[in-house]
Every structure is written in C-alpha cells, then in structure tokens.
Amino acid sequence: MQVKNRRTLILATAGHVDHGKTTLIRLLTGVETDTLAEEKARGLTIVPGFAYLESGDNDFVLGFVDVPGHHSFISNMISGVGSVEGCIIAVAADDGIMPQTREHIEILDLLKIQLAIVVITKVDRVNPERIKEVAYQVENLLKTTQLKNSGTFHVSSVTNQGVVELKRHLSNLFKENNKTLTSNIERKNTRFIVDRSFVVRGLGTVVTGSVISGILKENDNLALSNSEKIIKIRGIRLDSTDISQAHINQRAALLVNVHHTDVRRGDYLFALENKNLQHLDRFDASLRMSNNNDSGIEANHQYHLYLGASHRVARVRHLGTDLYQISYDEALSVHHGDRLILRDPSATKTIAGGFVVDIAVPKRNRASPERLRALAINRLDDSGALIGLINEEPTGLNVKMFIENRNLTHTGFENLVTEALAPSKPFITLEDKRLGKFLLNKKKYNDYKIWIEERIALYHKENPSDEGPTMTNLLTHYPIKFTEDFWSNLLSTIAHEGSIQIASGRIKLTGHETIRNSMLIEFDQTIKPILLKHQKIPPRTREVAEALQMPLSTLESIIKECEKEKELIRVAKNRHYLPNALLDIAESAIDLASQSQGASFSVIQFRDFTGIGRNLCIEILEYFDSIGFTKRNENQRTILNPEKIRFGTNHSVKHPVPN
C-alpha cells in the first residue's frame, strides 16, 4: 500500500570511534545500523548505516546516516556525509574530544555543513563538572567553523536522559529548515546518488541512496553514469513504505531493471537530457585548505578526490585565488555545487574541501583573467550567477552551458529568469545555431551596436564605392576579441532591427548607396566591355591599352582601383580576370577533378579541359594555389578548399568537393 510522500531531512553522525553514534541512532529510531558481521564482531561501524525516525503526526521523516568513526574507514565517513543536509556530532563525556572528533568536524566544516547538533554521550559515567568541561571544549572547537551555532544536548543510553528533548529539537529543526530544503524541487533535474546495490529474492535488483536534486518517479527512465544503460524505476520505497515518487533530500530504495553488478557505489542516476554530460573528466572548483595543510597543492601530485559517494585519484591545478581545476581518468557525473573533499596522495590526511564551480572547462586560456572573472561569478547561487553573467560577460550568458552546469530544467531556468530579472528583463537574446541562446546585457548590446554603426559609417566615408565592410573587417578592429559565431549573431540581431543590412558578406547602413568614382566609371564604359568579350582568355594589360589607345600608366591606375574594389582579379603581372569569369574557370577545375582518377589533374589535363593555352593555365593554377583553392603535389593538383573561389562575388560553390 502506498501512503503520502512525506518530506525528509537527512542527518549524518560524526565523531570518534566508540563515542556512541550507533547507540544514539538506536535510541532515537529503534534501528540497529551495524548490520555487517564484522561490524558486530569488532563493535565499530565500517560502512555507513541508515535508519529513520517518523514524526508524531506522520508528516515527515528524519533520516540518519551512521558513518564510521575509526580512522581506517575515514573514506567511508566522507562518502556518508557527502550528500546530507546536517549532522549530529557525538562526543563521549568520559573521553572528550579525540582525533577523529577533530577530523570529522574539519571535514564537515570544509563541506560547509552548517546544520548541526552536538550530543555529549555517556553522561551517566561522569560528574556534572566533567560534562560542562567537555561542552566548553566542543564550543571552543566549533567557534571558528560553519558549525558554531550548533545546539548541545546531554544524553545517556543507560538512563535515557536527554532523549525526549533531543527528539523534540530534531522535530523543530526540520520545521525550521523545510522551506530551504524543498525550495528547488521543481527547478532541478533528477539526480540520485547510489550507495548500495544488491538483490532481493523475488524482486530483483535494489539500489539505495539519496535524491540530491529534482523528483524521481516510479516508471521513470534515467541515465546511469559511466554506462550506456537506461535504468527504469520499477518501484520506490522510503524506509518500509512504498511511495510513488521521491524528491530532493530523501533517501530511498529503488527497484530497477538491471543486474546489481551494473550499478556501483558512487554511481549516479540522472535525467536522460544530461546523458551527454556523464563523461566529464575535469571541472573547476573552489577549494579551502585544511588547517593542517601547510604545503598547499602540489602541481605534480595525485590526490584522492571524494565527491558524493564517489572516489577518484585526481590531479589538481591552481588557477588563481581559491579556484582550482581538478581532472581525473574515470569520468564523473558532476554539477555546480557538488561538495568535495581532497586527501593527500597516501589518503591519510584531509588537505582541502570545497564545491564544484563550473563543469564547462575551456580548452584554452583556462586561467586567463577573463576565465577567472567568469568563475568568480559562477561561484554565486543560481540567481546571482544568472544576473552576474548576463551583466558582466562580454558575450553574455550561454543558456545551454548555464542550464547544464546548474542541472536546471528548461522550465526551471525560465522561472529563474522571471524571478531574478522580472519585470524589466534588462537583456536581449542572441540565437546561435551551434551554441544555442545567449542572454546579453542591453547596455552592452547597445554599446556594441553604436560602435558597429559608427565603424560602418566611417567605412562608407572612406570607401564610397564599396558596399560596406566584411564581418572580418569589423572583428579585426574591435578591441575585444570575439568569436565569429558571436559577431555573426550580433550583426544578425542588429540587422533584424533594421539599422544595417547584410548581403553577400558585406555590411552596410540601411539606405547607403555606393558612389562609383571616376576611375570605376571609366572601367565600366571602356575596359569592362573588352573583358566581357574575352572572359576565358582576357587580353594582356598592354593589349587593352593599345586597343583603347590609352596611356599604359592611366590603365594601370584604373586597374589598381578595380583590384581594390574587387572588380578585377589579378592572376599574373599582366593578366586580369573579371571575378565571375574566373569563378567559371574554377568550377571547371572542380568538374575536372571529380572526373579524374585520384581526384587530381595535371596542367595538360586542365589545358585540354578548358581550352586555355598552357602558359595561361600555369598562371591561373598558380593563382589558385596561392589562395588555397588548389594544392600542388609534383605535377598534380587537387581541390583543397572550394570556398576560396568566391573572390568576393555573389556566387557560391555549385559542385561538391570530389572525394
């Protein structure tokens, strides 16, 4: 029978071995969390155990993770606390603060866990003065940590002293923090971290763990980290109760459709739309060094990375301030905010802790000032990072990267934008076919727009006969180096507003009319008609001058102006082609290559195919080589890049590149 889906708060125990953590959980829940034979024989916890305490009104459940206290099992302790919201710090009244007490508290502090309760156990064994002394020691130990505001309770498992008061405090603690714990349920995609996988006879494979974001529902299909398998959720159980869905901050047991060996401790089940992110081998993180770490991070060392219930051997590179890049060989499923611990190469000492900042690590300039500025913004929460990246990044917020890094649903992102920026929406949207949407600050956009319009106006003034500058011309002159994709999207958006026009790779102000100068007019009236009559084999420069009875120097000045305006293409010192005529010859070269064995041809083959004389063929092919259209290999030529034959004309390639 299924009952209503109750809310859950998960707490981990922390403290030295034999300080009563397991006994404390048994007092609160009635559950024995040491279930392994070795644990019972040795009287200590080896792997994290789990138990639940239901509220009196059946409205919520407190989940407890009993983590090991022995120093030999510190890695299991880290895995146990990696996905919890709070902790119970157990300190035995007779022993007081011990080595593992200090190490556990340091790990909790590095993970920035602030929700905590101090329980002084075994108070029946000591006098009141000793209890006060231990309480004072613990207070001093916590006062410089995230746990400084923890409440303190005195408990005895023999007399049950303090148990009722502790249960009441736990109930109030949940009610005070419930709004924070459930505020992001709908905003994030589903993620479930696995801590156990086993077989239940008659049912099949069961995996247990915690929902760390989103909502997990019965019959959901989820991706499995480090696998191509799709996991179907056949059933969900919270403690001993069947439920139809589990949400963030709930521990659950899932009945799944794969063999139990396919799922390992530390694996993640997550939304299918993030399947492309399961092979990440690095991320950028914010780290805080342990108080016991005097040597910092060594560049050439390998460290032990604990993230969630996962353990990897990792390399760490300092980027600047508290920012580091962490890389590893076996991929992880990670997102912004995931907490982590680093231990030294021998895995005997905790050296740092922190959280994931960004999973979209660039291939170059990983520690550039621009990248560090972006990482500083990405350290903020979802709303702060959204506003910061839109306002501060020169190219604005990359929506796809932001959603993936923050594990947001598309609806969650839209709601975040509405909440953080409504009603003014101080941004414009740039569309990119390859990279998706960018949200760019309106003031930055207007600054870019004004600069572009002024630059085009200056170009028109200096080149009145030209249609306008190319995108490359604008990109080259702007003081900030942007990608061609960004420029293309920016120009398209401005053109859509109507102040500029883009045609044939040229950009002009709307309403601009070219003014042909006297030399170009002379070309149109006298020289061009001759070249149009002899497009395949144009006369030499001196022959044109003689035909027009024009001084050679005058003709050369006109030709020079025509070359500048791309009205003519010089293939040799004394031979010029109209662009469209040379384009036709280039198309013939593509045709010849496609018909030839090995997709290559010789000068003689080109001569016979085009009907052009051998010497002129050599001049044309050498020009094609010089612009990267063809490539010569001994006596043969192949087509290298067909796009190079545009020559600034309105034409594009008609034929495919030969294989």
CA atoms of 599 and 615, how far apart (whole Å) = 23
> H helices within 150-271, ranges in order?
163-182
Which CATH number belongs to the domain containing residue 559 in this structure? 1.10.10.10
The answer to whether residues 284 and 266 belong to one domain is no
Burial pattern 554-585, b for ≥16 Cβ within 10 A else e, equals ebeebbebbeebebbbebbeebbbbbebbbbb
In the block, residue with structure tokens 């020559």:
647
Query: Confidence class of residue 4 from pLDDT cuts 50, 70 and 90?
Result: very low
Residues 6+ apart with CB under 8 A from 49: 22, 25, 33, 34, 35, 65, 66
List the beta bridge partners of residue 343. 304, 350
Task: Classify residue 604: in a domain, yes or no.
Answer: yes
Task: Classify residue 86: in a domain, yes or no.
Answer: yes
pLDDT at 413 over 70: yes
Among 306, 221, 211, residue whose Cα is nearest residue 268: 211
Query: Confidence class of residue 658 from pLDDT cuts 50, 70 and 90?
Result: very low
Query: What's residue 77's pLDDT?
Result: 53
The answer to whether residues 20 and 165 belong to one domain is yes
Query: What's residue 78's pLDDT?
Result: 61
CB 338 within 8 A of CB 407: no
pLDDT tens track for 39-73: 333 333 334 466 777 765 555 677 777 766 434 43
The answer to whether residues 140 and 247 belong to one domain is no
Task: Classify residue 659: in a domain, yes or no.
Answer: no
Of 158-167, 370-379, 428-437, the range with the highest mean pLDDT is: 370-379
Burial pattern 277-296, b for ≥16 Cβ within 10 A else e, equals bbebebbbbbbebbeeeeee
- What tokens appear for 506 in the block? 């040229």
Q: Give me the chain's average pLDDT, please.
A: 85
pLDDT at 497 over 60: yes
pLDDT at 363 over 70: yes
pLDDT at 644 over 90: no
Task: Classify residue 521: in a domain, yes or no.
Answer: no
β-pairing verdict for 280-289 and 230-238: unpaired
Query: What's residue 177's pLDDT?
Result: 63
Q: What separation in angstroms does the CA of 608 have from each of 219, 296, 605, 611, 643? A: 70, 73, 5, 5, 25
Query: What's residue 132's pLDDT?
Result: 94
The answer to whether residues 39 and 161 belong to one domain is yes
pLDDT at 431 over 90: no
pLDDT tens track for 23-40: 888 888 877 654 433 333
Task: Classify residue 425: in a domain, yes or no.
Answer: no
The answer to whether residues 554 and 569 belong to one domain is yes
Task: Classify residue 423: in a domain, yes or no.
Answer: no
The answer to whether residues 532 and 601 belong to one domain is yes
Query: Confidence class of residue 601 from pLDDT cuts 50, 70 and 90?
Result: very high
- Residue 420: phi and psi, rounded to 5, are -80, -30
The answer to whether residues 143 and 212 belong to one domain is no
Looking at 182, 203, 237, which one is the last position of a domain? 182
Task: Classify residue 504: in a domain, yes or no.
Answer: no
SS3 label, residue 326: strand
pLDDT tens track for 249-269: 788 889 999 999 999 888 899
Q: What percent of the chain has pLDDT over 90?
A: 49
The answer to whether residues 271 and 133 belong to one domain is no
Q: Can you give the residue range of the structural domain that contains 123?
A: 7-182
Query: What's residue 647's pLDDT?
Result: 52
pLDDT at 74 over 60: no
Tally of domains within the chain? 4
